[in-house]
Structure 1
Amino acid sequence: MGRFAPLGRAAWWSPLRALLAVSWVFLGFAALAKANCALGRPDDSGVLRLNWDGNRQYTSFCYNDIVPLYGGRGLDRPGFVYDFSWVEGDLTRYMEYPVLAGIFQNIMGAIARNTYAVADRILPDVGWYFFLTALVMSVLWVATIRMVAELAGNRVWDTVLVAASPLVIMHAFTNWDIPSIFLAVSALLAARNRRFWLAGALIGLGTAFKLWPLFALGAYLTLAIRTRRFAPFARMAAAAAATWVVVNAPVYLRNPDAWGEFQRLNTERTWEWTTIYAVASRAFGWSGFDAAGATPTILNTVTLLLFAAGCVTTAAIGLAAPRQPRVAEIFFLTVGFFLLFNKVWSPQYSLWLVIPAVLALPRWRLLAAWMSVDALVWPILMWHMLGVDNKGLPGEFLNLVVIARDALIVAMMVLVVRQMLGRERDKVREAHAGCDPLLTRPEDWEVAAR
C-alpha cells in the first residue's frame, strides 16, 4: 500500500474511486483535445456545418478518424455499413475496418442520427456523432481501468499510469481503439478467474474489432508449453476461433468483397509515417524494397518475418527463463515487437501497449517518460503533414521523436527480458508472494505468503 497510506481512515477516497476520478478527468482532457475538429459554424442558411478551416486538424493536432469517416463511410445515413461503397479510380471501396469495429461505428451512427435533434443548435451532426462516440468509449475505458486495478492486485496504484497517461489525452478518441482494449483486458481478467471459455470468446471479439488482442493467446501458449498444461489454452483458442467465425461469417456471406477490404487495404498499402521504414526513407532517401507504386510484396514479407522472429524469440526466452514468466511480460514483448516491425504504426496504436507495459514493468519514471515522448509523436506528425511550404516541420523533427519513442520501447523490452531471466528485480512478483497476478487470485497470494 505504501508507507504513507492512511489505512482505514479514508471515508470516501479509496484507491479505486481515486483512479476512476482520474480516468474521467483525463478523458475530459482527451475530448477537449479533439473538440476543435468536432465544432462547426452556420452556413448561409443557418445550418451548422463542420469547420476545418485553416488546416485546424493539423495546426491544433485535433485530427481523428471518427469525424471524417462519419460521412465518408455512410454512417450519416440509414443502412448496413458493409453495404456502403464508393469508387476511387477503377476500384470499388468499402468500410476498411474489421467487422466488429465497423458494426460499432454503424450503431453509433444510428444513435447519433436519431438523437441529433437535441444538439442541432450547438453542434454539426458529425460533431454530435463524435461526442456520443467519445462518451460510449469513455464508459468502456473507465470499466477497463476498473479491471486493470483488479489485475494490478497489491500494486493497485500502478493503475494511475494508465488512467493518467498522456497517451489517453492524445489518442483516446483518435480512432476506435478503446473497445478492443476493453475486450483484451476483459479476457485477461476472465483467464485470471479461470473462466477460459469466456476469456477465449473475449479474445475472439477483440480480434474481430482490431487484430492485436489475438497476441494474448501467444502468452498463454508459451506458458502452456512450459507447464505442459494445454487444456486451458485449448479452451481459449477454440472459443476465440469460434467467436471470430460467428461474428465474421454473416458479413462474409452477405458481401465477401466488403469483408475482405481490411485485408486488401493492409496488403496493398505502404509504410506509415512513424514506422522505422518511413524514418529510413526520410533520413536516407530510401525508396523501399518494392518498385514505386507496386504492391509492397517484399515489405509485407519482411515485416511478417521480423514479427515472427520476435514472437519466436519471446517464446524461446519464456521457455528458457529460470522461473515461469508472467503473462504480462510475454504479452508486452509480443505487442512491442509487432509495433516496432509492422509497416503501419498509426500513433494511436501505442495505446495498445500501455496496459501490458504497466502490468509487466511498473517503473513509473521510465513509463511516464515513454508515454510523454510517444504522445509528442502526434502533434509533430500533424505539423509535419502541413508541409514545409506551409510552415510545417521538416521530416528531421519527426524522425527524432520517433527514434526517441522506439528507443524507449526497446529499453523497456530489454528490461522485461532481464526481469524474465532473473537479472532484474520483479516488483510485481515481490508484491504477490512470487505469484503472477494474471494467473492467480488473492487467496492464492495469501497461501503463497504463508
Structure 2
Amino acid sequence: MKAVTEVRPPLIARAVPYLPLGLFVALGASLAYVFRLPCRTGGWNDQTTVYTNFCYTDIFPLYFDRQLAAENPYFAQVPFDKHVEYPVVLGEVMQVFAWIARLLRPGPPRLVEGVQAPLFYDFTVVFLGVCLVAGVLLMAAVAGPTRRWDALWYALAPSVILAAYINWDFVAGALSMGVLLAWARKRQVLAGVLLGLAIATKFYPLMFVGALFLLTLRTGRWRPFLVTMGAAVAAWLVVNVPFMVLAWDGWRRFYVFSQDRGVDWGSPWLFFQNKGWPVLGDMDVSTLGMASLLLLCVGIAVLTLAAPRRPRLAQICFLALAAFMMTNKVWSPQFVLWLVPLAVLARPNWKPLALWQVAEVWYFFAIWLYLLGQPPLDRDDLGIGDDTYFTAVWGRVITIGIMMAFVVRDILRPHKDLVRQGDVDDQGGGVFDGAPDRFTLAPATR
C-alpha cells in the first residue's frame, strides 16, 4: 500500500484565519502609540509632564544618556555606567534605529540629536508594534485552531496597551513565542536558535530551559531537548562572542548591572526595605531573591514530576516565569508583557485574568503617581504616598499568586484544565504531546 501523503493547504489559505486577529493587534499597537503622544511631542524633557500624562518610556532617556546619536552602545569610549545595560541583540536593535535617524537627519550629534530623537522613537515604536503583531500571531498558532482567539488578551489587554512602549520587551516576546511555536512543530534546531537569540535580547526566556528540562526528564525525550539546547548555546555564542572579544566592558555591563542593582520599584522586597522590616536577618537581597526563586523552582519541579498527568509546557513556563518575577529585585511595569501570553496559554480563564489586569492597571498608574511625590519632584499635591503605592505592589503579587494557584490546581486535576477539554493533551508540547511517562514521582506520592 502506498503511504498517504498529507496535503497542506496553501500558505495564503492558512494565513486567512489570522487576518482578523492581526487587525485587532494592529489596533492595540496604535492605541498604545496614541497614549504616549504627550511624551513623543516633546514632553520627554519634563518629568512632571511625563508622570502626570503616564507616558514614560525608556526610549528617549536611553537615546540621550547612552549617546546613541554618536556612538555604538557597546564600543563607545564612555564611562562604564554609560554603556547600554541590555544584552547585545537588544542593544544592536537600538543602534540600528539610531543609525536610521542619523541618516535621515545628518549633522553634529549634539546639534541635531533633539531632532533625531523623535525619529528614533517613531522607528523604534513601529518596529515594536511589528514585534507585537508577530508575537500575537505566533501565540495564536501555539494555542491552536480551537483556542486561537485567546491571543486577543495579548493584543488588547489594558496592561499591554499601557506598558507597550516603555521598553523593548516586544522583541523578546516575539522571539519567545517563536520558540514555543518551533518546539510545538518539532523543529528543535529552530527552537534552539530562537531561544538563544531571545536570551541574548532579554534574560527571562532562560526560564524556558528549566520547563523543557523537567518535561524531558518526565518523558525521557532527551534527543530533542539536547538538540535544542545545543542550538541555543550556539546562537547565543554567535551573537555574543564578537562583543566579548572586541568590547568587553560594553558587553559585561548588563551582567554587572544585574548583579549590583539594588532593590527597585515594583519588587515586594522594596516593601520590606521601606518598612524597615528585617527579612531573614541581614541576608543580601540578591541572595534572598535567588534563594526564594530556587525554593519555588524546587516546588515546580516536584509538581511537574509528581502530578498525576504530565503538565503542559505552557503551564510550567508560566509558573517558572511568575516565580522569577515575584522574587526579583526589580519588577518594572513593562514586565507584564512577558507574562501575559504565557498566562493565557497556561489558563485561558477570563475571571482570574481580568482580576490580574485590574491589579496591573492600578500598578501602572500608581508607580507614576508615586514618583511624582518622590525626590526630586516632591509633588505631594499630585502624587501618592507609600501605603497607597504598596497596595498596588501587593495587588500584583496576590493576583498572580491566585493565577498560579489555579494553574497548580489544573495540573493536579487535569479534568479542570480548559485547554485539555475534548481529549487534547498538549497542543504546544511538541514531542511531549501524548508522550508516555518514563520518570515520575507520582507512585511515591500516592
In structure 2, how many angstroms separate the alpha carbons of the residues matched to 1:185 and 1:54?
35
Aligned to 1:404: 395
Residues 215-259 of structure 1: per-residue CA shift (max 9 Å, x gap): 112111111100111111111111111111111111010121211
Percent identity, aligned pairs only, is: 33
Equivalent residue for 1:146, pick from 129, 133, 137: 137
* CA deviation after TM superposition for structure 1 residue 54, in Å: 6.4
Question: 1:251 aligned to 2:243?
Answer: yes
In structure 2, how many angstroms separate the alpha carbons of the residues matched to 1:32 and 1:305?
42
Question: 1:425 aligned to 2:416?
Answer: yes
* CA deviation after TM superposition for structure 1 residue 424, in Å: 6.1
- Conserved? CA contact 1:73–1:84, under 8 Å: no
In structure 2, how many angstroms separate the alpha carbons of the residues matched to 1:439 and 1:316?
19
AA matched with 1:386: L
Length-normalised TM-score, structure 1? 0.86
Question: 1:168 aligned to 2:160?
Answer: yes
Aligned to 1:435: 425
Query: What SS does the aligned partner of 1:248 have?
Result: helix
Cα distance change of structure 1 residues 378 and 84 upon mapping to structure 2, 3 Å threshold: farther
Aligned to 1:187: 179
AA matched with 1:26: G
- Conserved? CA contact 1:38–1:130, under 8 Å: yes
* CA deviation after TM superposition for structure 1 residue 110, in Å: 0.7
Aligned to 1:356: 342
Question: 1:376 aligned to 2:366?
Answer: no
In structure 1, how many angstroms separate the alpha carbons of the residues matched to 2:47 and 2:159?
26
In structure 2, how many angstroms separate the alpha carbons of the residues matched to 1:270 and 1:188?
32
AA matched with 1:108: F
In structure 2, how many angstroms separate the alpha carbons of the residues matched to 1:163 and 1:342?
26
- Conserved? CA contact 1:197–1:236, under 8 Å: yes
Query: What SS does the aligned partner of 2:128 have?
Result: helix
Aligned to 1:29: 31
In the TM superposition, 1:20-419 aligns within 5 A as: 20-40=22-42, 52-53=45-46, 55-77=48-70, 79-87=71-79, 93-116=82-105, 124-153=115-144, 154-282=146-274, 284-286=275-277, 298-387=284-373, 389-390=378-379, 391=381, 392-419=383-410
- Conserved? CA contact 2:352–2:402, under 8 Å: no
In structure 2, how many angstroms separate the alpha carbons of the residues matched to 1:434 and 1:271?
43
Residues 283-317 of structure 1: per-residue CA shift (max 9 Å, x gap): x23477898xxxxx721111111111211211110
AA matched with 1:337: A
Query: What SS does the aligned partner of 1:260 have?
Result: helix
Cα distance change of structure 1 residues 409 and 114 upon mapping to structure 2, 3 Å threshold: same
* CA deviation after TM superposition for structure 1 residue 127, in Å: 1.6
Cα distance change of structure 1 residues 321 and 51 upon mapping to structure 2, 3 Å threshold: closer
AA matched with 1:81: P
Aligned to 1:10: none
Cα distance change of structure 1 residues 395 and 237 upon mapping to structure 2, 3 Å threshold: same
In structure 2, how many angstroms separate the alpha carbons of the residues matched to 1:363 and 1:14?
26
- Conserved? CA contact 1:191–1:199, under 8 Å: yes
- Conserved? CA contact 2:347–2:407, under 8 Å: yes
Aligned to 2:441: none
- Conserved? CA contact 1:183–1:206, under 8 Å: yes
- Once the two structures are overlaid, the 10-residue window that deviates more, 152-161 or 333-342, is 152-161
* CA deviation after TM superposition for structure 1 residue 161, in Å: 1.2
Cα distance change of structure 1 residues 83 and 288 upon mapping to structure 2, 3 Å threshold: farther
Residues 380-436 of structure 1: per-residue CA shift (max 9 Å, x gap): 1111111164121101111111111111100000110111111661110114x2320
Question: 1:18 aligned to 2:7?
Answer: no
Cα distance change of structure 1 residues 288 and 101 upon mapping to structure 2, 3 Å threshold: farther
Query: What SS does the aligned partner of 2:284 have?
Result: helix
In structure 1, how many angstroms separate the alpha carbons of the residues matched to 2:156 and 2:147?
16
- Conserved? CA contact 1:328–1:359, under 8 Å: yes
In structure 1, how many angstroms separate the alpha carbons of the residues matched to 2:41 and 2:207?
38
Q: Alignment RMSD, CA only?
A: 2.4
Query: What SS does the aligned partner of 1:334 have?
Result: helix
Residues 48-94 of structure 1: per-residue CA shift (max 9 Å, x gap): xx6533611111111110111111112112x422122544xxx6542
- Conserved? CA contact 2:178–2:191, under 8 Å: yes
AA matched with 1:128: L
* CA deviation after TM superposition for structure 1 residue 16, in Å: 2.3
AA matched with 1:328: A
* CA deviation after TM superposition for structure 1 residue 360, in Å: 0.4
Gapped runs of 5+ residues in structure 1?
Answer: 1-12, 41-49, 292-296, 445-450
* CA deviation after TM superposition for structure 1 residue 128, in Å: 1.7
AA matched with 1:299: V
- Conserved? CA contact 1:327–1:436, under 8 Å: yes
- Conserved? CA contact 1:418–1:424, under 8 Å: no
- Conserved? CA contact 1:207–1:244, under 8 Å: yes
* CA deviation after TM superposition for structure 1 residue 102, in Å: 0.6
AA matched with 2:132: W
- Conserved? CA contact 2:179–2:192, under 8 Å: yes
Aligned to 1:294: none
In structure 2, how many angstroms separate the alpha carbons of the residues matched to 1:370 and 1:159?
16
In structure 2, how many angstroms separate the alpha carbons of the residues matched to 1:182 and 1:81?
23
Length-normalised TM-score, structure 2? 0.86
